[in-house]
Amino acid sequence: MRNLTIDAFGDNILSVSNIPGGDLTARHDQVKLAINSLILDSGLRADCEVFGLFKSLIPVEAFEQEENLQRGRGRQGLLPDFKLDIPGPGAGPGALGNVVSKLAELKVCGAVESYYPRSGASARARKGVERRAALITGEYKRPLTALDTRYHGTGAGEKGPLMRRLEGFGQILTWVIGAFQEGSRDLHDLIELLADTKVAMMGLARGREASDREKAQILSGYRRTLSTTAARASSGCLLARASKTGEASRNAAKRRAWAIRESERLKLERKSHWNAHVQSRGITRGEFVYTI
């Protein structure tokens, strides 16, 4: 979006996609690391950045044909933020063995119009964080359904191996922190679960149950840590993006884009030279002869 005037609170620059830099990712990762720290403190078993969960079900040809699967995190097909082992139905906090695995996704959103309508009945009908949370499940299912259809021959109304693995974890936990550091329903449930797990672990360690006062102190500490981290992350993201607006920043972005294009061009040139002067001549490399 060009020629945009920044509003009084800078909300609109958090919604545009043409500002360079990884400020939005840095905001997300700050909050994610804070949540991971709270999970470790509570004693709940969880994995952060769940690598390899779907990659084994993606055919090799998909990595060659799908551009979004060819680099970085995209090579995983789908990379959930967390996988947690939480107490199963009827089990209390810290229940050993009686646990179910759940996937969780974290989102941090700003006060953009799509999540925070400024007026009308829709502005009061639903919280902004719940609007954002409602979109996460679809964002998980759509790319996996497309891969199933394209490479596993899944027809309409059928579920391929990727979707079956996703649904094996049940409902996705949607953790959303909004523009005013408010949390979604699932995020509040997480904080309660962490406090209950921490209290249960303390009771097992010392041989007596923790009091309600101790639980309240733990719960308030977790909430304070998470909210202050989110506030710092959002403020830092806003200041960083505001510093990259203006004509000078646009020119710098053009220079970076040119440098990336040149790098890609030189990469293709080196690859062409290799194919023409090395592989085509069958030059031996160790035990192998490269030919085309």
User: In the predicted model, what is the mean pLDDT of residues 232-250?
Assistant: 83
Residue 257, in any domain of the structure: yes
Residue 7, in any domain of the structure: no
Strand segments, DSSP code E, in 61-124 are 82-87, 99-108
- Both 199 and 257 in one domain: the answer is no
Buried b (16+ CB within 10 A) or exposed e, 45-79: ebbbebeebbeebbeeebeeebeebeeeeebbbbb
pTM: 0.78
- Both 154 and 275 in one domain: the answer is no
Q: Which of 58-67, 158-167, 281-290 has the lowest mean pLDDT?
A: 281-290
User: In the predicted model, what is the mean pLDDT of residues 138-154?
Assistant: 87
* Residue 217 structural domain: 12-245
Residue 203, in any domain of the structure: yes
Residue 169, in any domain of the structure: yes
- Comparing CA positions, the residue from 222, 127, 256, 257 lying closest to residue 183 is 127
Lookup: tokens for 118: 């400024």
273 pLDDT more than 70: yes
Residue 2, in any domain of the structure: no
Answer yes or no: are the C-beta atoms of 212 and 240 closer than 8 Å. Answer: no
- Both 275 and 160 in one domain: the answer is no
- Both 133 and 257 in one domain: the answer is no
102 φψ region: left (φ > 0), alpha (ψ -120 to 50), beta (else): beta
Count of domains forming the chain: 2
